[in-house]
Structure 1
Amino acid sequence: MASQGVVLARARTDAADRLIEADEPLAGLHRRCGGELPGTVAVPALLELVRKSRRLGLRLARTIEALDGEDTVRAWVEIEPESEGEAGGCSIAVGAWSTSPRPAPSEDEASALRIAIDRAVAELTARLAPDQGVLAFDTSASDLAGLARAMRENPGKPWTEFVELPELAHRPPLHWRLLDGTRCVIPGSKRGWTVTLVPLGRPDPGSAGFELLLVADAPLPAAILASEEPSRATPSFGRELTPVLRQPIARIIANAETIRSRLAGPLAEEYSSYAADIAAAGQHLLSLIDDLSDLEIVEADDFRTAPDRIDLADVARRAVGILGVRARERGTTLVAPDDGISVPATGEFRRVLQVLLNLIGNAIAYSPGGTTVHIEVAREGDRARAVVRDEGPGIPADKLSSVFDKFERLGRGGDGGSGLGLYISRKLARAMHGDLTVESTPGEGARFTLDLPAAD
């Protein structure tokens, strides 16, 4: 270990990657990481290096990091197989050992983590206008049915009119910073709720509206879930299983995020990555549950929409606002209809928003970074149309006829999607006496058109 100075500790492993001999300070770190002597190497970064050296039969040397209580340990290690092939173990030499306090997360990091956890466990999410009026919302909790009904019947009203805020003596309107983190009482629910308000827009937070998250202090009691009457003789995924599955999965996601961020205590980077994978898998599962629930709804014989007069241009602008962060993360530019444009149409606001969110979300996902997605609206005769046009690779000619089929993922097998979004979107469009169509030339992007009855 001439390149890294004096050897501080030596150790040996066997063919099963068990540490059978070790000097201090490596032996102590191994035990504090949960290992035994003899026992499998407990320092994740060291174990990975030992396995690679043994399997490849190569001498490896590099710096590793490990968490040791509230500290971070960095050490230079050199690992050499003791025999050719995988039959033998390895010898380990350790030098350049240093310990430093683990930095506390910044205020911004802690805030982002809190929002991520609240977003995962929230039982009502809503998009609010800059004046905190409700634009769209989603909930499946049975004790929030009254709140959902009030919001649906009073679109655009501030969300604070539908709940009680016992901790705040001031009368609305209230600044969003006063509302963020406060407790609220929801008529019809016996559970306590905490409010999270996420401001959207820069440089003035809230200039593009807010994301509202309502988090319960406890899951809905199992007795209440079990006592709810089934809507039909056979099990209904959307109406019966969705709320039952959503709560435990959301808790799994929240716990995984807590572990990933090390809020529960020190954790090796490898295990933090595992927790991140668990959280991502949970989010994917929730999206599949939502898609299957929507699928059941739109395929029901009694499914109807509630058409009303809407401004298609305004809905398109709102959809762009909601997906703006996702687009920026991918380096995609979204071009929304100008503020002065208005295209009156007949349709159900939240269903039209759902369709446009799906179309724009797909365009962002399929388009390479640095490209632009255009959202255009226009009236043509008695029809109002919204067009989502991307600059992606386009859709092969042999796939155009099946784009709106169930479980069709446009040839992408590993993107994590369910392949139901476009199928559901066309069902919704046709339920509103409209249609959803696509045009595409390979290499020149895709053009999806939502067609609705125009309103005078």
Structure 2
Amino acid sequence: MADSAPGVTTARTDAEDRLVSADELLHSLQLRCGGDVPGVVAIPALLDLVRKCRRFSMKLVRPIMANDGAHAISALAEVEPAPDGGCAIRVRHWQSRALPPEDQVSLGSRVAKIERQSAEFHAVLDADQRVLTAEAANDELKPLAGAMVAMPGKTWTGYVEVEGGVSSKDMHWRLLDGVNVKVAGSRRPWRALISPQGGTLGKPAGFTLSLTSDVAPPVQAPTLSPEMRTSETRLIGRDVAPVLRQPISRIIANAETIRTRLSGPLAEEYSNYAADIAAAGQHLLALIDDLTDLEVVESEEFATAPDHVDLADIARRAAGILGVRAREQGVIVDAPRAGESLPAVAEFRRVLQVLLNLLGNAIRYSPPNSQVWIRLEQEGGAAKVIVADQGPGLGLDEQVKVFEKFERLGRSGDGGSGLGLYISRKLARAMGGDLRVESAPGHGARFILSVPADNAA
């Protein structure tokens, strides 16, 4: 229930937007929002109004909202230019509504999400914390990612030094979440963040590993090779991508800190602005990743590293990684059952990359309360994974266009680059297989990844 304050509350600011005097209500709110008297106005909506009043030299009357962490406050503010260059403030219709107490579990989850967003290293782990894939955002951690990719299947703690020399082979993931680690070749301290993916908290289907540091990386200018300077086909360059990722990740992390009010009270409208900044940064990061992958698959020297893999196992891992996203969208993913197997000859991480793209698209464009199926087939020398959804489907002309570079079929606002399926087909064909689609408008779509079957298995 909201509490109302009778009468008018007044205050004054100087020519530098500092609150130099205020009645009790505004004085108290200024302090609770982290400001002082005298001090720059700490109530964002009121500061915005004061600045506009000074800029246009005119009286303004606007409703304002504030949040001091414990109360949501609304009022009608009247701001008028003063002869000394500052402003006279009159606030009416003051209403204060108590906010529910902060859920510490939710708060901790938001803090962890922000830390992961600014992390400089990411890896995907299986249910036993063994490395499946790894990627570094800077040169400092590239040797670690390279070692993990070259020798996958080991527990991630075997590649780093865990603080205290703890033997962590059989440690529960909760005991490793937040542990300090040392990385060979890096002088900075690192903290490991473990997030369960899929399954249940008691028995996750897998994990994501992130490494973050409180010490900022040294600022380095991008080193451009002669080929990067002269080739018209290079859009971003694998050396430039990490340099771009670092500041963008920091922008996203800071925006998330503002959005979730971890840095102090904030009105809802400003929190929404921060959310837009974070979302735009996420889209930009995804575009950088796609452009980097595009250069890799289109380079003349690109080749995959075929190995003996189980497509059923990879499909289950992809479903586990995207399980949370599916639940948030209200989509049920029906993955291959335990015990199902389909041996093939392909590169593990590239198959996983393709399936994550196909499954991610299926979840994104499926209606709520629908299903996505992952099925396995073998036809002669081809092993196939089929990802089928109940989305809007594709017409015949769209089925051709969907694999073209930068093609988004008229979609807008989803942050996609139009490169995912183009890159996925390139990867499939590089592994000696293919990627195609079967669909009809209104009847969903079936994307079929085929790679050589392992007939010797």
- Residue 31 of structure 1 deviates from its aligned partner by 6.5
Classify 1:78/1:279 alpha carbon distance in 2 versus 1 (closer, same or farther; 3 Å): closer
- Partner residue in 1 for 2:248: 249
Following the alignment from structure 1 to structure 2, what is the Cα–Cα distance between the partners of residues 280 and 5? 36
Of 336-345 and 138-147, more deviation after overlay is shown by 138-147
- Residue 208 of structure 1 deviates from its aligned partner by 1.4
3-state SS of the aligned residue for 1:222?
A: coil
- Residue 427 of structure 1 deviates from its aligned partner by 0.5
Following the alignment from structure 2 to structure 1, what is the Cα–Cα distance between the partners of residues 29 and 191? 42
Q: 2:189 aligns with which of 180, 187, 192?
A: 192
- Residue 8 of structure 1 deviates from its aligned partner by 2.3
Of 236-245 and 314-323, more deviation after overlay is shown by 236-245
- Residue 35 of structure 1 deviates from its aligned partner by 12
Classify 1:185/1:47 alpha carbon distance in 2 versus 1 (closer, same or farther; 3 Å): closer
Following the alignment from structure 1 to structure 2, what is the Cα–Cα distance between the partners of residues 436 and 119? 32
Of 437-446 and 211-220, more deviation after overlay is shown by 211-220
Compute the RMSD of aligned alpha carbons: 3.5
- Partner residue in 2 for 1:361: 360
Q: What TM-score, normalized by structure 1, do the two folds share? A: 0.82
Q: Indicate the percent of aligned positions where both proteins have the same amino acid.
A: 50
- Residue 155 of structure 1 deviates from its aligned partner by 1.6
Matched, 1:66 2:66: yes
Following the alignment from structure 1 to structure 2, what is the Cα–Cα distance between the partners of residues 278 and 149? 32
Classify 1:108/1:342 alpha carbon distance in 2 versus 1 (closer, same or farther; 3 Å): same
- Partner residue in 1 for 2:82: none
- Residue 222 of structure 1 deviates from its aligned partner by 2.5
Classify 1:41/1:215 alpha carbon distance in 2 versus 1 (closer, same or farther; 3 Å): closer
- Residue 71 of structure 1 deviates from its aligned partner by 4.4
Contact between 2:313 and 2:341, CA under 8 Å: does it hold in 1?
Answer: yes
Contact between 1:253 and 1:279, CA under 8 Å: does it hold in 2?
Answer: yes
Q: 1:159 aligns with which of 136, 156, 174?
A: 156
Classify 1:343/1:259 alpha carbon distance in 2 versus 1 (closer, same or farther; 3 Å): same
Report Cα offsets for 1:16-62 as digits up to 9, x if no partner: xx9xxx995665478667899xx9996639999xx9xxxxxxxx999
Classify 1:395/1:183 alpha carbon distance in 2 versus 1 (closer, same or farther; 3 Å): same
3-state SS of the aligned residue for 1:239?
A: coil
- Partner residue in 1 for 2:406: 407
List gaps (5 residues or longer) in structure 2.
12-16, 53-60, 79-89
Of 383-392 and 225-234, more deviation after overlay is shown by 225-234
- Partner residue in 2 for 1:447: 446
List gaps (5 residues or longer) in structure 1.
13-17, 52-59, 80-90
Classify 1:294/1:43 alpha carbon distance in 2 versus 1 (closer, same or farther; 3 Å): closer
Contact between 1:122 and 1:216, CA under 8 Å: does it hold in 2?
Answer: yes
- Residue 139 of structure 1 deviates from its aligned partner by 1.9
- Residue 372 of structure 1 deviates from its aligned partner by 0.6
Following the alignment from structure 1 to structure 2, what is the Cα–Cα distance between the partners of residues 328 and 204? 15
Question: Where do 1:168-179 residues align within 5 Å?
Answer: 168-170=165-167, 172-179=169-176
Contact between 1:164 and 1:186, CA under 8 Å: does it hold in 2?
Answer: yes
- Partner residue in 2 for 1:138: 135
State the number of aligned residues.
420
Contact between 1:260 and 1:273, CA under 8 Å: does it hold in 2?
Answer: yes
Question: Where do 1:90-109 residues align within 5 Å?
Answer: 93-94=92-93, 97-98=95-96, 100=98, 105-109=102-106
- Residue 159 of structure 1 deviates from its aligned partner by 0.5
- Residue 153 of structure 1 deviates from its aligned partner by 2.3
Q: What TM-score, normalized by structure 2, do the two folds share? A: 0.82
- Partner residue in 2 for 1:88: none
Following the alignment from structure 1 to structure 2, what is the Cα–Cα distance between the partners of residues 401 and 169? 54
Of 319-328 and 106-115, more deviation after overlay is shown by 106-115
Contact between 1:439 and 1:447, CA under 8 Å: does it hold in 2?
Answer: yes
- Partner residue in 1 for 2:230: 234
- Partner residue in 2 for 1:339: 338
